[in-house]
Structure 1
């Protein structure tokens, strides 16, 4: 599914959420599986408590818990995917309730400041995220960010929740307001995580997921996590008995998008997200939210030829406790491209279902994705950057960290290949050091080999170099890591920027 980020309980969790009879899903215990899926994790520290709202005891108890949790993470030297510590969950709604039995607990802002400093006394490297508000409030966020600035306890990622019915309608306005708060305080813009979204009545509707995808893409959200309303171990309703539900297919279509996300313009209740992959000559449109007969107009198709093949599929409208083994293939139709556009009629739409248009040349698309852009991969302790000379307009630079699992720099490519065999992997890169640079190469958790990048002459940000290596991949999904630093790797030499990999 090409996952991005999870919010997980901390080491030693005692949380018994949603009817669970024993704690589960400690972030350090599941780290390997999450890494294998290409994901990062936030550790929600107050989930060390057994109940929600949390049963705060005292500062001595809390600081003892903090010391234990943070020390456990620091000692987990093979874990590379902890993207941040979340100090508290929904403090605007439950801090007073959680601390009602401790008159010395103080205010939430005092707790944030003190706990932030407690964490930094043990771990100076792992990001800290917050505030994790239950909903967006200008006054609350302004107060929080002002205190964080004044106490030098700024979060690395801003976090709040969008949990109301139709809250996707408010995402862009909330992001704009938060950016104005940052500007008013003279602060740089930081990534935003909506680490709980969708109401309990809507979270299992495939089209609602599509509405959120569209809103998050337009607003530039860094990551977003479906709310944990129901049973653990189900990807928050995307799986039932370890098999897909209807909503799963909407998220899989979205995860399968490659190349560039392109602009979508919603019409009434109909909305969606779309991508164009120039290397595959494929357009992937995921949409939904309206009923009856509608049309989807797709522009910019001249590069696919005078005719295109359009595959239309749908999800069911069932919820989290009903499996859907595969999408419903509704039609495969050839359309003539007129002035770079086609218009696809979609009849008998259900407002709860999600739909996909997969558009390819009539001559046929490549049988599998061969080019994977570094900027679209899992990028850890490095930076996604833009360049007109990079394929797809982006690349990954500042891949500089090694020697500590919390700062190791690497890029994980989640690739999908049709058969188990040896593949030639071409790595496009830039190396302006004037000398050879090296990185480690590993796949599917295996041992590392070394990739050598001879110097390039066009300067940083201009990935004109390429090297070929051989990788032995299994059929289906594989994780390929290119690393300056990583557990079980001594570390690369020099510096290199990554543009893409190509498998053939």
Structure 2
């Protein structure tokens, strides 16, 4: 929650910042304005948006643990998809290969301080690529499914995977081809699976339904699901869905209303796939999604289609953050790096129609970092970032140092962000305005304030 501290002394005065490598000429009127109120802040960083589905090699070795640790990844989500296809997974007698993969991913998560989201549909063999000869509960027979879940539980226990650092995600995208039967059969599976896991592992964290789309009150699949899980006492701890595309902040608000009207309480929400392939997996939209996830306090896992540019596989690139095979940072990796660099207290930022950002201020480090982006197809041109209520600890002799970096859109190695400007700016009435010539909505920007 943001805390209101103090008030502004006067209307902020526009301060124009000379931008390096920008053409000379009159300043253009701002297309959009973002406003940062530095008197309103509260809450330490959780880096909740730094999560990924797959993106690491099957043995958990590459990309390097350093590339992962530097961006403070908080969740890895996987279930062995595509291993052994067309006949992979438990239902095809290919359980062992996928379980060995799970162990490698869990070890990587544990070593780097991330949670692991265990995707049971992948372990079964339903991954959109493999043959699925049978589905749980076919012809009313639940024996195979029960044996499957019990096998997973036994292996999880044997490998120390019984804590809150493991989330049990019972099925992926059950409203589309990842589930080949009726919703009623799916719901019975959820009931049985949830009861088995909770009985065997007290305190187990369950996540679902990982719906392919966003929650709305007019969606009969969602309303049927919510009514069922409440009536059968199998509400997941974490409610999840996919924004491909979507707006996490809007979607979370819609879900909150749906839950409230039913008296359902959960411990959190997760957009466990966000950012569709193409333009959405570029720096600008990545930063926008991070900002929207921060707004709703939703956990997030970046989508991984295993086909961006037709080169990366499912087990490569961190969902298109690093180059295929070479594993070098691209522009979007630097978005997550600057997000990871944020410390202190989350600070209020008012979004524009297509731009948003995440801002933190740290009085101990005497630094404030903002990471800014535009949703796919967002406005291009002159964007003003207006800071108000700048605290005294950021000001030296009436000015503040402003570093503006561009995190470029490119599907190639980026050794470091591009420094657009690094200059002192006079603070007037506790305010400054930082203009950005945002000529490509796929780019992201970082602004760092220091005394």
Compute the TM-score of the two structures, normalised by the length of structure 1: 0.64
Matched, 1:66 2:149: yes
CA contact (8 A) 2:126 2:178 kept: no
Deviation track 1:121-156 (CA, whole Å, cap 9, x = no partner) reads 432332111111101243333322221111111100
Deviation track 1:67-101 (CA, whole Å, cap 9, x = no partner) reads 1112111111277563310011111123652x49x
Matched, 1:346 2:427: no
Aligned to 1:252, the other structure's residue is in SS state: helix
Q: Which residue of 2 aligns with 1:4?
A: 74
More helix by share: 2
Q: Which residue of 1 aligns with 2:390?
A: 301
**Matches of residues 296-445 of structure 1 in structure 2 within 5 Å?**
296-303=385-392, 304-305=394-395, 306-319=398-411, 322-347=412-437, 349-361=439-451
Return the alpha-carbon distance in structure 1 between the equivalents of residues 83 and 200 of structure 2: 22
Return the alpha-carbon distance in structure 1 between the equivalents of residues 176 and 211 of structure 2: 8
More strand by share: 1
Matched, 1:153 2:234: yes
Q: Which residue of 2 aligns with 1:386?
A: none
**Displacement of 1:25 after TM fit?**
8.1
Return the alpha-carbon distance in structure 2 between the equivalents of residues 348 and 86 of structure 1: 39
Matched, 1:36 2:121: no
Aligned to 2:402, the other structure's residue is in SS state: strand
Q: 1:288 aligns with which of 361, 373, 376?
A: 373
Q: Which residue of 2 aligns with 1:175?
A: 252
CA contact (8 A) 1:157 1:192 kept: yes
Return the alpha-carbon distance in structure 2 between the equivalents of residues 345 and 136 of structure 1: 34
**Displacement of 1:32 after TM fit?**
2.9
Q: 1:258 aligns with which of 337, 343, 360?
A: 343
Return the alpha-carbon distance in structure 1 between the equivalents of residues 350 and 166 of structure 2: 33
Q: 2:224 aligns with which of 123, 136, 143?
A: 143
**Displacement of 1:118 after TM fit?**
2.3
Structure scoring higher RCO (CA < 8 A, sep ≥ 6) equals 2
Q: Aligned pair in 2 of structure 1 residues 283, 56: CA closer, same or farther (>3 Å)?
A: farther
Deviates more, 1:267-276 or 1:243-252: 267-276
CA contact (8 A) 1:311 1:329 kept: yes
**Matches of residues 76-225 of structure 1 in structure 2 within 5 Å?**
76-77=159-160, 82-94=165-177, 97=180, 99=181, 107-137=185-215, 138=217, 139-164=220-245, 167-168=246-247, 171-221=248-298, 223-225=299-301
Matched, 1:235 2:318: yes
Return the alpha-carbon distance in structure 1 between the equivalents of residues 153 and 99 of structure 2: 18
**Displacement of 1:229 after TM fit?**
0.7
Q: 1:46 aligns with which of 121, 140, 156?
A: 121
Return the alpha-carbon distance in structure 2 between the equivalents of residues 314 and 125 of structure 1: 44
Return the alpha-carbon distance in structure 2 between the equivalents of residues 159 and 326 of structure 1: 34
CA RMSD of aligned residues (A): 2.6
- Count, aligned residues: 345
Return the alpha-carbon distance in structure 1 between the equivalents of residues 389 and 85 of structure 2: 50
Return the alpha-carbon distance in structure 2 between the equivalents of residues 274 and 291 of structure 1: 21
